[in-house]
Structure 1
């Protein structure tokens, strides 16, 4: 098995389950040491690390609220210290509560912006000095289909995901002289364990269709992210990859 990310270190935020876990496991399979970040559920993060190690990879679990500047800097520093370098940032951590626009409080708005957007800015800014030392410095952030199409009861979530696209383009301009690529992956309907874990499916899922007639898998998202993190994607920056089974054409 070839390992194009051998000796690399990747920080994956929100990597305790679902898409984040799949990304962490795939990057480890490609040879990277993975810093598995979790906001609160360290038991779930330990499960991600165990899956990585069972496949012969290596990982570190890091915990903290990345919307806090001091914590974000600490997590990035600890990720870099694990193997003496930091090559890849995957911004996956996000929350997606639903509420009618007129019922949103400013506290609700700020909480979503903090986790979904502010944390991306803080982590990436702290990581730049490390990524600039890598021959394969890469940032990939997770957007979402509704950040482009819209949906009901998600004004705060949709705004944060749309902003990720703008931030991706801005960082691509600013960081290309440092040799860092910056891209976004925007998944559509993905088959995750959210409902099985006690959550509820978003209302807009009932009305979504696509050309392939099924939901995507977490592995398909992980494969797309891993490609953009790999040396094969060094000529790609500032882009948003739509991963939605042809939803725009349905």
Structure 2
């Protein structure tokens, strides 16, 4: 990333919708390293929340965490409202929301089906909806959605359908919101996703955890001026 694109992140307000997973955490840390003021959502505040906040603040930037349930419209609005209350603006949104089960097609219950769609597709939609209203006042607003390629996966059809829905949402928002917004996605292959999920957190901590940083760097690229010609695109990480 060029010096110019690094400097462009300084004092930008960035919202990472879910910091509970390692990818969301890595993205938040990379944004903080580039000088962003970072707000990170958590569905359940715990020791991990405190650890992530401490790491962000130790990087010398302003950082806050918000406990909320983004699978509801009210919870998503609360997350964005905190950004407005604290900073009065929002420049960048990265949706890293993820919930999946191990249910097969014939085993999946209605409750797991609903929870999976709510926690992935519905949450991404409502966070984006709330954020766009605040981001509209900012020049060069950008949204990046982190998605997973689950085509052919043996389990969790609901998760695969939710990911396809997020890709469709990405492309439609890109068309509807241009030229004021750029909306793109980073897509992990199923193999890459499983490898990241199986890494030991204590052994692979960003920035040394290359798997996490691969995703974070791809996200930062799409948020940077170097990706100015990209809108409605899906950047795949194999």
The verdict on a shared fold, with TM-score over 0.5 as the criterion, is yes
Q: 2:142 — aligned with what? A: 138
Matched, 1:228 2:222: yes
Q: 2:34 — aligned with what? A: 30
Matched, 1:70 2:71: no
Deviation, 1:14, is: 1.4
Matched, 1:107 2:111: yes
Matched, 1:169 2:163: no
Q: 2:58 — aligned with what? A: 54
Moved more, 109-118 or 130-139: 130-139
Q: Deviations over 1:80-134 (max 9, x none)?
A: 2222210111110111211110111111111000010001110111111221111
SS of the residue corresponding to residue 186 of structure 2 reads strand
TM-score, normalisation: structure 2 = 0.88
Deviation, 1:37, is: 0.8
Q: 1:238 — aligned with what? A: 232
How many pairs were matched up?
224
The answer on whether the counterparts of 2:17 and 2:127 sit within 8 Å (CA) in structure 1 is: no
Matched, 1:219 2:216: no
Root mean square deviation, CA, Å: 1.8
Unpaired stretches in structure 2, ≥5 consecutive residues? 202-208
Matched, 1:79 2:83: yes
SS of the residue corresponding to residue 178 of structure 2 reads helix
Q: Deviations over 1:154-193 (max 9, x none)?
A: 201111111111111110111114x111111011215436
The answer on whether the counterparts of 2:185 and 2:234 sit within 8 Å (CA) in structure 1 is: yes
Q: Judging changes above 3 Å, is the alpha-carbon distance between structure 1 residues 172 and 65 closer, same or farther for their aligned structure 2 residues?
A: same
Q: 1:184 — aligned with what? A: 185
Unpaired stretches in structure 1, ≥5 consecutive residues? 198-214, 245-250
